[in-house]
Amino acid sequence: MPNSVVIIGDSPIPDRPSRDLIIYARDSGLNAMYVPISRISVKVDKDGPLTVIRDRPFKVDGVFLRSLGVLIDVETFFRRTITMRLIEESGTVVINPLDGLLRTRNKLETTVILKSKGLPVPDTIGTEDILYAYEMAKSMKDVVIKPLQGSRGYGAVKVSDADIAFQIMRTLLTFKKPIYLQKYIEKPNRDIRVMVIDGEVFGCMIRVAPLGQWKTNVAQGAVGKPCTNIDKTVMELAVKSVEALDLIYGGVDIGEGKDGYVIFEVNGSPDWAELTAVTGRNPAKALVLSMMRRLKA
């Protein structure tokens, strides 16, 4: 019997990375399909806790965990987390592991971990205290206010006036959202996206934002260019960041600040269409190989 792997995500139909994983997994002789996390239930009865799909045990050898959902209620988040934990604890190989993915989903936690491991990050405040946030926005001068979870650049704002920052931050609190405030790092209109898989650099691209724009997300109009003349230090920072968060793979966003490199974030389920176009190599292939190595071990 070939090994079975499932790609788990939030959307009813697989996105592009999920489809890539299915294709390469099937090419490699694995049974592969996509399942939205909302279809997997938890059942607790005399036989113990179990994950099921319509009362049929959900038992697979490997899972590529791509998303637990973004715009979801906290109770749905709890339900999905314990569902994934049960799957992981049943011995299924999970890439990325649940805890690693949760760390990257929370930008504040990522920043705290990276800093505590001595890696360079922007000065950051995570707070619900508006007066403190206001004081910090004043002292940092140019600030970035970002959603706490990855958002492809949507909703991140750069503000130079502490009172405008105040209005934005107070509105966030009104809607029960925390404040994630960072010092704005002066940088060229580009950053470096490094994809790390199994402790090695898989590929890299420079993301060039439209002139005058500070966000370098592809979703915000940035274009990927080949990584030429990139310092070895950048690659080392990327590998160390992914390792610090206990991830099997990750896409690391690194900026070239005046005082050195800074890590903006680590993506635990990055998109890779642009990287594939720029490098000519699809990470899905390497991820399937990584899965197969783990299934054999």
Ligand X SMILES: Nc1ncnc2c1ncn2[C@@H]1O[C@H](COP(=O)(O)OP(=O)(O)O)[C@@H](O)[C@H]1O
Binding site for Mg ion (CB under 5 A): 253, 265
Q: With CB under 6 A as the contact rule, which of the stretches 15-23, 142-150, 195-203, 282-290 interacts with ligand X? A: 142-150
Residue 185 interacts, among ligand X, Mg ion, none and using kind-specific CB cut-offs from 5 to 8 Å, with: ligand X
Nearest-angstrom CA–CA distance, 189 and 203: 21
Query: Shortest distance, CB of residue 132 to ligand X, whole angstroms?
Result: 18
> Can you name the residues that pair with 41 across neighbouring β-strands?
52
The β-bridge relationship of strands 124-127 and 157-159 is unpaired
Per CB under 6 A, 152 contacts ligand X: yes
- Residue 110 interacts with ligand X (CB under 6 A): yes or no: no
Quickly count: other Cβ atoms within 10 Å of residue 71's Cβ: 7
Which tokens go with 272? 């890779």
> Judged by CB under 6 A, which of 61, 256, 265, 274 binds ligand X?
265
**Residue 18 binds: one of Mg ion, ligand X, none (C-beta under 5 to 8 A by kind):** none
Does 256 bind ligand X (CB under 6 A)? Our answer is no
Residue (204 or 292) nearer to ligand X, CB: 204
Looking up tokens 């011995």 gives 91
| Apex 249 CA angle, 248 and 254, nearest 5 | 135
DSSP string, 48-100: EEEEEETTEE---SEEEE--S-SS--HHHHHHHHHHHHHHHHTT-EEES-HHH
- Give the nearest distance from C-beta 48 to ligand X in angstroms: 38
- Tell me: does residue 240 bind ligand X (CB under 6 A): no
| Interface positions with ligand X (CB under 6 A) | 122, 144, 146, 150-153, 156, 182, 184-185, 187, 191, 214-217, 253, 255, 264-265
